[in-house]
Amino acid sequence: MSMVSHSAGWTHLLRPTAHRDSRVVVFPHAGAGAERYASVLAGLPDSVEVVGVTLPGRERRASLAPRTTLTAAVSGVRRELSALAPAPTVFYGHSLGGLLALAVAHAGGGRCDGLVVSCSRPGARSLPRPRHPDAAAELAEIFAWHRLPADALHDPSLSPARQVLAHDLALARHALRAVDSLRLTVPVTALAGTDDPLVPLGELPLWARFTSGPFRQRSAQGGHFFPFTPNGQGVLLEELAASLTAAHAADVVRGSARGLPASSPAR
């Protein structure tokens, strides 16, 4: 089935392919849209279709208010991904996107055969004890880290981009707590930058608790946005390729069990 392409749609075809044999669904970081990842994922095999998730208030959805809830985002993305033609599929999320990808995968957002996250905190258990037990004060502190005013959610003087970032950070704060009890059965790969001040390398093993399936962790030189550097992009593409290969292998096993042919693996 065709992707939703109008501004109200949560997903769109970021990179079509004439001979799709697998799919990567990309969930961007706070303040960003899926188009930012087009060049990062350009090195995937031509047979890999790339679907982008875009929250309201940016890129093709810039006319919409940036505020959303985790429930609305998961429901909207899940509904649209469920309408896609079946194919071995890997979810990839960076930072906030990793939390959203986990939540959508757990909700049954279409098909998900593997999850790859980069620079994403593994739930609220990874957070240090808050200095501010009050939610508003905690959010204000998060805003301060990103050079936003405490009332950023209601400050009309902020640029559209800063308003989007503020609402995404509020969403991330909620998502960190909401995903703590979620468990998948598919392989999970967690990546982190060696110099990331937001997601320390020591937190990577905590991602293992989100799945009963295989878990892999890997670090890359760089900071919080290492996938946007040449070396970091190479690491990301290697891990996505490995996850896609595993997804194809699982597809072969399922197809054999049903007596059906499976698609060829990505190369």
Looking up residue 39, the CATH number of its domain turns out to be 3.40.50.1820
- Strands (DSSP E) along 107-238, which ranges? 114-118, 188-193, 215-220
pLDDT at 168: 95
- Average pLDDT over the chain, rounded to whole? 89
Tell me the pLDDT band of 22, cut-offs 50, 70 and 90: very high
Query: Residues of 230-246 as b/e, b for ≥16 C-beta within 10 angstroms?
Result: eebbebbbebbbbbbbb
Residue 263 placed within a domain: no
What does the pLDDT look like over 118-134, one tens digit per residue?
Answer: 999 999 876 665 555 67
Q: What is the mean pLDDT of residues 4-20?
A: 80
**In the predicted model, is pLDDT for residue 139 greater than 90?**
no
In a domain, 192, yes or no: yes
Q: Is residue 133 part of a domain?
A: no
- Given a contact cutoff of 8 angstroms between Cβ atoms, the answer to whether 69 and 44 are in contact is no
What pLDDT is recorded for position 258? Answer: 62
Token pair, residue 262, equals 């499976």
Domain housing 232: 11-125+176-258
Inside any domain, residue 88: yes
pLDDT of residue 99: 97
Residue 163 domain-assigned?
no
**Can you tell me the distance from the alpha carbon of 8 to that of 104, in angstroms, rounded to the nearest whole number?**
18
Number of domains in the chain: 1
Of 54-68, 131-145, 185-199, 251-265, the least confident: 251-265
In the prediction, which pLDDT does 7 show?
52
pLDDT at 5: 45
Q: Decide which of 129 and 26 is more confident.
A: 26
Residue whose token pair is 């001040």: 197
pLDDT tens digits, residue range 91-111?
999 999 999 999 999 998 679
Average pLDDT over residues 30-54: 96
pLDDT of residue 135: 78
Judged against a pLDDT cut of 50, whether residue 155 lies above it is answered with yes
Task: Classify residue 152: in a domain, yes or no.
Answer: no
Q: Is residue 137 part of a domain?
A: no
Phi, psi torsion values for 48, nearest 5 degrees: -95, 115
Residue 131 in any domain: the answer is no
pTM assigned to the model: 0.90
